[in-house]
Amino acid sequence: MAPKRARTTRANPDLTRATTATEPMSQEAINNLIAQRVAKAIAEYETQRNSVVNEDMSNTTGTGPRIKDYLNCRPLKFNGTEGVI
């Protein structure tokens, strides 16, 4: 029978398998990393915002349903002073 492996616990950590960095990052390095990520995110946002999703440009503002389209559906006429509250 094969020998059992020793279990690693918080009380008994395995120091041979270190996964943390040996040197901490400086504040300047952290700020540079954040600035790079923010610049990249803004560039991606601008690209997506300015791109045309559909060829007929139906994703642009101001192309919603008009009152004529609404009236073509023949909505029910409402008579009275009470309504949905």
Q: What pLDDT was estimated at residue 71?
A: 76
- The amino acid occupying position 85 is I
Q: What pLDDT was estimated at residue 67?
A: 78
Give the chain's count of helices (H) and strands (E).
2, 0
Q: Which residues contact 57 (CB under 8 A, 6 or more apart)?
A: 63
Q: How far apart are CA 85 and CA 9, in angstroms?
A: 61
Show pLDDT as tens, one digit a residue, over the chain (85 residues): 566 666 655 666 666 665 565 778 899 999 999 999 999 999 998 888 777 555 555 555 566 677 777 777 777 777 777 666 5
- The amino acid occupying position 45 is Y
Question: What does the domain layout of the chain look like in residue ranges?
Answer: 27-51
